[in-house]
Amino acid sequence: MAKLGARKSLRPEHWPAADRQAWAVARTPGDIFEPGGGAANWRPQTVANFENDYGLWLGWLATSGRLAPDSRPGERVTEDAVAAYIADLQPMLAPASLANRVRRLYTAMQLFEPERDWGWLAQLKARLRRAEKATKSKPEALTSPGQLYKLGVDLMQDGETADGLLARKRAVLYRDGLIIAILAARAPRRKNLAGMRINVNVTCAGGHYWLVFSGAETKQKRASEHRLPADLTPRIDRYLDHHRAVLANGPHEPEPADALWLTEFGDRLSPMAINVMAKTRTREALGVAIPPHRFRDCLATAWAVDLPEHVTLAGAMLDHSDPKMTEDHYNQAQRHKALQCLARTFDELRRQKSAVKDEY
């Protein structure tokens, strides 16, 4: 029962009165006399993420019988309750998602009841973060972008030639291949990818298509423009002229009408659907599930391996605000090279040992 609650998020209008009031205070804008609440200047997506995760916490409390409506938010966040919450979440969430849940719970307590001592929760948050890093070996990050790009091209080819499939199913194959090819070539963030609109975020100029995002749309709040490979131009044309038109004839209508990526039924494709699709297609073809964000690791690591003298350009292409993010990929690439060298050394030693045995 508690595990079901871990998946159910209470909307803010259904939160207990004390939580609604605390959240309203946190969101109160400031003025020249008052600084405003701690969440007053949050971006809409940050607000939505917080409300969802805090709502998940409240949903779990309600389902597990721990939600006393008259209690203060901080009174419910005890070590025992958080330990039980984590125990229910662990079978369902990756380490990164689990760490994010606890991080946002800590943020909520800092906003709602900062006068309490949350040192133990801060330590727990840090331990989960370390555990996340320790378990993230990222074998998929060493997958070549060339392999991923080829997978995208193969899927598009299947969408054109597959026999026995309805036109809508072939359109889905083609759409998935085009998304994977774009991820392999430029690795836009999943949210930006899902939100792409025709002639707004994907535009054609000089025989090339461009990915264009305003500062309001990007994580780093900076405008971003990146040219797509020339061989994708006819493929994007084909998607727009034919396959997207097939999907647009589904029973539903997209919102907005110029959404680039559509589902089999004509709806706008969601970020979560893109995540599931990418993991499914890569698992089927390559044996490892690669979510959209890992395409960024693949691309950055490939630059660091193949063009180490230009590794900073990868940071520019991926819109990294912190050079350390690109440096981390460079270091990972160097570790990968060292492991390959070590493996070759061991192979040579084994061959030498075998040759010595043969002489005797």
The per-residue pLDDT for 57 is 96
Higher pLDDT, 243 or 163: 243
Cα–Cα distance, 60 to 82 (Å, whole number): 10
Q: Give the pLDDT confidence of 278-328 residue by residue, as tens digits.
A: 999 999 999 888 999 888 877 776 654 444 444 444 444 555 445 555 555
The per-residue pLDDT for 219 is 76
Q: Which domains does the chain have, with CATH numbers?
A: 2-135 (no CATH), 139-290 (1.10.443.10)
The per-residue pLDDT for 106 is 96
The per-residue pLDDT for 324 is 54
Cα–Cα distance, 307 to 89 (Å, whole number): 41
Bridge pairing between strands 202-205 and 224-227: unpaired
**Do 246 and 263 touch, CB atoms closer than 8 A?**
no
SS3 of residue 92 by DSSP: coil
The per-residue pLDDT for 167 is 95
Indicate if the pLDDT at residue 5 is higher than 70. Answer: no
Q: What are the CA-CA distances from residue 194 to residues 70, 82, 180 (Å)?
A: 40, 33, 12
Q: Give the pLDDT confidence of 252-277 residue by residue, as tens digits.
A: 988 999 999 999 999 999 999 999 99
Indicate if the pLDDT at residue 344 is higher than 50. Answer: no
Token match 């994010």: residue?
100
**Do 220 and 213 touch, CB atoms closer than 8 A?**
no
The per-residue pLDDT for 303 is 58
Q: Give the pLDDT confidence of 84-133 residue by residue, as tens digits.
A: 999 888 877 777 788 889 999 999 999 999 999 999 999 998 888 887 66
Rg (CA), the chain: 24
**Do 155 and 174 touch, CB atoms closer than 8 A?**
yes
Q: Give the pLDDT confidence of 119-168 residue by residue, as tens digits.
A: 999 999 888 888 766 655 555 446 788 899 999 999 999 999 988 899 99
Beta bridge partners of 162: none
Tokens of 213: 């995002």
**Do 178 and 247 touch, CB atoms closer than 8 A?**
no
